[in-house]
Structure formats: C-alpha cells, structure tokens
Chain A
Amino acid sequence: MCSLCGILGANEHWADAAEREGVYTRNADPMRRRRERADRVRLANRVLALYGMRLSDWQGVSFVLSTFTGKSEIVEDLGHLWPAAEKLCGRLCDPLARELLEQLDADPG
C-alpha cells in the first residue's frame, strides 16, 4: 500500500523487491520464489491463527486471507497483509503485545 495515500498496488514491497543490481531478493529464481512464498504462508499462519485467520497462496501472484468464520480478502504482499488482517478480524495485530508473544512462545509450531 502506498504509504502516502493508501492506494493499493502503488508500491513495490521491500520483501518482494524486483530483481535488479545490488538488491537482495528471492524473486529472481522461480523455485526460490515459490519456496519463499510457501515459507511466508506457513510462518504468517502461526501468527494469524492466534487472531482466528489463515493465509493461503493464490496462484503464485497474491494471497488470500480468510477468517475461520469465512470472511476473506485478497492481499498482494506483506505490506497489505497486516492492515487487511486488522480490518478482517476487527482487532489490532500488535507484535509487541505481551499476550501474543506469550502465545507464540507457548506454541510449538
């Protein structure tokens, strides 16, 4: 999301940078890109599950974020994920919240 105006799709997200000289990205090699997306979904789901949500890959180009009750939204990248998650579950997704950290610590993964 554009950090100025909130327009979706206006920015390249830093974790999904296009391949170019000097830039670190896992998008250059198709296999590596696919593995990175799978890892991202798996790890994000450890966090999202604590908010009653799950993420899945959508044809290798976007992600689908769903609540356990069936609401869903398409998100483009990590930059869109957390605002969409907060909107969908109606709670703040705060990585500094003590309860969240205690639950992640207790969750064996």
Chain B
Amino acid sequence: MPTLVEDVPAFTPVTLLTGFLGSGKTTLLRRLLAGPALGDTAVIINELGEVGIDHLLVERLDDQMVLLKSGCVCCTVRGELATAMRDLHSRRERGAVPPFRRLVIESTGLADPFPVLSTLKADPVLRHHFRAAGVITTVDTVNGMLQLERHIESVRQVAVADVIVLTKTDIAEAAVTARLVARLGTINPSAPLLSAAEASLDAAVLLQSGSGGGFKAIDESAVGMAAHRGVGAFSITVDEPLDWTAFGIWLTMLLNRHGERILRVKGILALAGEERPIAIHGVQHLVHAPTHLSRWPSEDHRSRLVFIVEGIEPDVIRRSFSVFNRLNICPAP
C-alpha cells in the first residue's frame, strides 16, 4: 500500500499508556483499539519478562504493532524503543505499513515514564517526526491505594499523568473509590479522572489529554501540600502578564538543580505582548516545546502553573518564582 505523505502529520503524536502492574493498561488499550478513533494508530507494547503475554490479549496484531521483549521500557529506551520507533517511521515512509497518524506506547507496569518521554526529544531522528501527546495512567481502584503506599513507581506514574483512568471501579466499594480519588487528588489534582467502566469513555478525549485541552486548573486554596510519600501538588496564579525571558531563565535554573524532584510542571501562561495563551508541559528535566493555544479555555486569563513535586516546600518555589518574575522590571529612576 503506498504511503500518502500528505496523510501523515509532520509530527506524529505519541501517547504513553502507563500504570502499575495489573492496573488494566492492556484491557484499556484493547478497548480503545476496537473503536474507530484508533483505527490509524500504531502500537508499541513493552513487556517485562522473557515470555510476553500482554500482546496476546490485544486482538489486533498486525504490521503496526511492535512488541518489545527485552525488559522494562525505561531501561531500554536508548536502544530498543528508539529503534522500534525509527523502524515504524521508516516502514511508513516506504509504504510498507499503512500511514498511521498516531502512536501509542504501552509501557510495563514498573516503568518510569520520564525516560520514554526523553527518548522522543533525545533521539535525533525521532524528534523531527514525533511529538509527545500525553500520558494516560491507569489506576486499579481496588488495589491502587496499596500500590501508592508501597511503590514509588506508582506515585510517579500518577504524578506525570495528563489523564488518569480508574479501572475496576465496578468491583470496588464506594468508600474505597472515594479514598483513592482523594489520594489521587493530592498527588495530581490537575489531571482529569475518568472511569474505564463508563461506556462513554471517549478515546478521542483520552488521546487529546496532553494537548492543553485537558488542563484542569486546581483550586489553590483547596490544595495544600497534603503530600503522599513526599509527593504533592500546588499551583501558582499570577495576575500580571509574565515575562517570557525571565520565566525561561528561572525554570531552566530550577530544573537544572531540582529537576529530579519536580515530577511535573504544567501551565497556561499569559505572556506580556501575547494575546493568546501559551501552554507549557514538563516532566522532571524534560520540558516540551511550548505551544500556542488558539484561545483561553475559560474566562480566567491569568497565568496558572501547576507543580507536582517531591520533597520541596511550595512556598520556597513560590518565593523564588516571584523574585525571578521581577527580574526584568526596572525600578523607577
């Protein structure tokens, strides 16, 4: 089948599907692939262990599905994942596979999402053809609390999510679900929560989760540093337009020194001299190219930044932000 180059986006969006072991990633993927929204989607499945099982559960096994078998995706990104993505891209260019317009990577349950996202930017070929489109994290409603208590990987997967999908809500007690929802709210209050049990779970909404449309501003007064295992969220709201240059100097300096503990930063910015808002997304040291949104998502046109941090006091970051934000203000003579 010939590849129609004009059908292929200049930067193919890549969605990372993550979630702890047994949290229902493959079930969700299988369901999404069965719908029309993912008809033109290539899939990379990463499995832990010598005998892959997950891919057997996904019925659509074709040329656009790649299985990585050599272990945890976050340990193999420098090689196998990048190679698999390059190969998919190459085959698409040659017309050897249908011209997929989207890529979904299902990671192992123990994977740290950060290296996967880094691969997209670090690889000299991939960064010219793919872009990160968002992180979907599945959370097992029945066992989620225990996993969050015991496994920091689970906390990190929730922290970096653009959207969280609760699974097994149909077999969980209401009180358990409520406690989990409250806990997830302390770790990542800016990610919308969806339930996999809902028949109306919209694949298109899930896949657009990282494009800025899924940004859920958090109520600053309602969110304290109710940290879970040291991980907590807070927001900064600024009334005046921001100075982009000062912001860039501040954020790069902050991430250079504290990037490992800043699990997530995302925001919608009102910049001085710009009518439209700018969306910014970062995971640890990695910040995606800022995007120009077509319009403000609400009547509130103030800059809002949401941080998910590990072991840093919010007031310290707020104070630093405030000082650097005045860096370009010349005092009156």
Bound form: Cα–Cα A36–B328 in Å = 12
Shortest B153–chain A CB gap in Å is 18
Inter-chain contacts of A46 with B (CB < 8 A): 327
Q: Is there contact, CB below 8 Å, between A96 and B10?
A: no
Classify the secondary structure of B's interface with A.
Answer: helix
Most buried by A among B122, B254, B328, B329: B122
Inter-chain contacts of B254 with A (CB < 8 A): 95-96
A3-B286, A24-B278, A83-B256 given as contacts; is B249 within 8 A of A78 (CB)?
yes
Residue interface bits A83-96, CB-to-B below 8 A is 1, else 0: 10010000011111
B331 at the interface (CB under 8 A from A): yes
Residue interface bits B236-272, CB-to-A below 8 A is 1, else 0: 0000000011101110111011100000000000000
Bound form: Cα–Cα A48–B283 in Å = 26
A101-B323, A109-B331 given as contacts; is B252 within 8 A of A81 (CB)?
yes
Q: Is there contact, CB below 8 Å, between A11 and B253?
A: no
Q: Can you name the residue of chain A whose Cβ is closest to the Cβ of B328?
A: A43
**How many residues of chain B get a CB closer than 8 Å to chain A's CBs?**
48
Bound form: Cα–Cα A14–B314 in Å = 24
Q: Which of B28-36, B220-228, B288-296 contacts the other chain?
A: B288-296
CB-contacts of B61-109 with A (<8 A):
77-78
Inter-chain contacts of A17 with B (CB < 8 A): 289-290
**Chain A interfacial positions (CB closer than 8 Å to B):** 2-5, 10-15, 17, 20-26, 36, 39-40, 43-44, 46-47, 78-79, 81-83, 86, 92-96, 101, 104-105, 108-109
